[in-house]
Amino acid sequence: MKSKFRHVALIGKYHANVSRGQSDLLRRVLEDIAHFLSGQGCDVMIERETAANASISGYPMLDVAGIGTQCDLGLVVGGDGTMLGIGRQLAPFGVPLIGINQGRLGFITDIPLENFRATLTPMLRGDYEEDHRSLMHAKVMRDGHCVFDALAMNDVVVNRGAISGMVELRVEVNGHFVANQRADGLIISTPTGATAYSLSAGGPLLHPSIPGWVLVPIAPHTLSNRPIVLSDQTEVAIEIVSGRDASANFDMQSLASLLHGDRIIVRRSAHSVRFLHPRGWSYFDTLRKKLHWNEGGS
């Protein structure tokens, strides 16, 4: 039985600052996977930056827009950071993604590299679970003008400066004043990001099917400030009231420097990311493995 997916793109480590050894390893891994995919009847393309970073040749190279318009599957080899970067870019095209993890099991790159053949064979034939993850669309507004625009799959984080004290943030939800928070910062997290920075700051876990966000203060001055779960149909606005060198991070992969009076407006994006998982995949299985639940138990 031939693959359900005809045109498959391979995407690897999504940055140029990899060592020679990492580049050689990535090339060997990608060539191994590409050979396997060809044997399954797939036409294999390599994402352009991946090909340059891994010095791989012999396959057509495509930029992200080309993958979005010409491929019906993306295979991401790396970790969750790699998947976050490419997931945001491919979301407008609706291309489904499968994650192969080179190191420790990831939350969204959940197929161990050593098992990729056995795991991918039935998936390529259509035997998989599909999982959609929402995105946030954030804008930084200054004097009525948008000075920064970004998508986020995990979170939008407003932080104080590295050497400054707390920031004071005015928080509004759907135009209604919530509070002025004095803290090291504030996280607005999707369910996908609930296992990232939000979790380390004391936020709750949110199942990916929940259409919600969580607002999590970072080291708040007032101990009664607690995480709040909101509908993802709301608009959240954060205004910088005071504090030096504040910034906004989007999935910790893009950064905007902020001034007093700047407003970060966060809405749900019209786009979502499509993940494919092996048949029988469970969010709770991933949580147990990643968070080391039940270790030492019977």
Residue 60 C-alpha from the chain's centroid: 26
Q: Is 80 a catalytic residue?
A: yes
Residue 211: both structure tokens together: 């259409």
Distance set, CA 250 to CA 65, 82, 101, 227, 281 (Å): 21, 14, 22, 19, 28
Distance CA 181, CA 55 (A): 49
Residue 157: closest CA among 246, 235, 260, 86: 246
- Out of 43, 63, 80, 155, pick the active-site residue: 80
In the block, which residue shows the tokens 């390529």?
124
Long-range contacts, 174-181 (Cβ 8 Å, 24+): 174/234, 174/235, 175/235, 175/237, 178/228, 179/225, 180/241, 181/217, 181/220, 181/221, 181/222, 181/225
The answer to whether 36 and 117 are in contact (CB under 8 A) is yes
263 burial type by CB count under 10 A (0-12 exposed, 13-18 middle, 19+ buried): middle
Residues that are catalytic: 80
